[in-house]
Structure 1
């Protein structure tokens, strides 16, 4: 999936994450800001990268501001931002159905 424009999903509330995705040209440029980066930074990055890979996104600037979100929330926020960035609003294959 090619990212066509900038989009945001999520909030800055506790137990959530705000994901901003923008078009890119140098692969995935990932920036993570998290209050739990020292404990869960590797897991957060792995979840985000796995979701981007599943969506077949290879070029994008992704910024994540994490407030203690669970993996399922991170996945949903990445998916939501990606779909918004491409104006996809119908027949969205949420979650595990994306292959």
Structure 2
């Protein structure tokens, strides 16, 4: 699952983007997701679900994720989540060891 996992960041605070910061958590701590969004009332649950789905598909557990959304589309949220996981050192499905 993970190899030398470290804190990483992906995305920007520009309009229609999302900035994600991920940090490893202690074993057994689970996923802690802190979401801040300009469209939290309308799309908060959908944003949260997209991030959690990508984490589940990537077999990632025991992390802290801070997400600051500025109206990103679902495809952008997925891409940024994959990017931050890769930068943090998580081995994603399909990667060579």
| Class of the TM-score when normalised by the shorter of the 2 chains | 0.7 to 0.9
Unaligned runs of 5+ in 2: none
CA separation in 1, counterparts of 2:11 and 2:82? 11
Unaligned runs of 5+ in 1: 94-99
- Report what 2:15 is aligned to: 14
CA separation in 2, counterparts of 1:87 and 1:72? 20
What's the secondary structure of 1:51's corresponding residue?
A: helix
- Report what 1:96 is aligned to: none
Pairing partner for 2:73 from 70, 75, 90: 70
CA separation in 2, counterparts of 1:63 and 1:30? 6
Q: 1:35 aligned to 2:38?
A: yes
- Report what 1:59 is aligned to: 62
Residue 12 (structure 1) shift: 0.3
- Report what 2:88 is aligned to: 85
CA separation in 1, counterparts of 2:34 and 2:11? 16
Runs of 4+ in 1 over 6 A off after TM superposition: none
CA separation in 1, counterparts of 2:21 and 2:79? 13
Cα-Cα RMSD: 1.9
